Amino acid sequence: TGFAVIDRRGSAVACGLSMNGAFGIGRLLPGLGFVPAAAVPEGTRSWTLAGSDFLVSAIVVNNFSGEIIFAGAASGGAAAPAALVQSVLPTILNGSPLAENVAAPRIFQFSNPDVTFVEAGYAPEALAAMQRLGHQVARTVRPGRVNAISCVNNQGSRPNACEFVSEARGYGIGTGGAF
């Protein structure tokens, strides 16, 4: 599972938790302040066969003001990184609502097996184009799960307002408001 927290003073935490192993590789990366997840076990042919739950978390900060723009975490296997990226990028780059992006149908691709997995409702024209280019496309019901906070639009007329979103595909909770 994963969670994200932002307080009224501008501090943030985004964390992914799993019962698969204690504290990733067991040490902080020097100068970066986080513990990376353990690698896929050697000899494992595929992430889908590794028996591990892959987690990802991210905090995005405005380099000029130091304000938190986004904090989020995703779980749900190898699809977790794609789920988080597909939620955060449209929010940050286009200013679209985080809830809309988290709820949108997702797509992710493995190199082994060489399959592009899509969630029901993904753009049919995009799927047809991928298949014409030779991609093997398969449906998935496990597109990763995201819990996130967006403070992209917290400037100007809405100071300190952030959007809190919990994945409807999972069992999380997203709560908060202006603080």
pLDDT in tens, 86-101: 999 999 899 899 999 9
- The separation between the first and the last C-alpha atoms of the chain, rounded to the nearest angstrom, is 25
Contacts by 40-48, CB closer than 8 A, 24 or more apart: 45/112, 46/110, 46/112, 46/113, 47/77, 47/78, 47/110, 47/112, 48/77, 48/78, 48/110, 48/113
> For residue 162, which amino acid is it?
C
Residue 135: partners with Cβ closer than 8 Å, 6 or more residues away:
116
Q: How far apart are CA 98 and CA 148, in angstroms?
A: 8
Residue 65: per-residue pLDDT: 83
Mean pLDDT score, 128-150:
89
Question: Mind listing the pLDDT tens digit for each residue in 15-32?
Answer: 877 666 556 667 777 776
Q: Give pLDDT, residue 100.
A: 94
Alpha helices in 3-79 (DSSP H): none
pLDDT at 151 > cutoff 80? yes
Angle subtended at Cα 148 by Cα 142 and Cα 153, rounded to the nearest 5 degrees? 135
In the prediction, which pLDDT does 156 show? 40
Q: What is the CA radius of gyration of the chain?
A: 17
The yes-or-no verdict on residue 45 having pLDDT over 80 is no
Highest mean pLDDT among 37-46, 58-67, 88-97: 88-97
Greater pLDDT, 160 or 125: 125
Single-letter amino acid, residue 168: A
**Rounded Cα–Cα distance for residues 116 and 104 (Å):** 17
The predicted structure's pLDDT at residue 112: 66
Helix (H, G, I), strand (E, B) or coil at 93: helix
CA dist 127 and 33 (Å) reads 39
pTM, entire model: 0.78
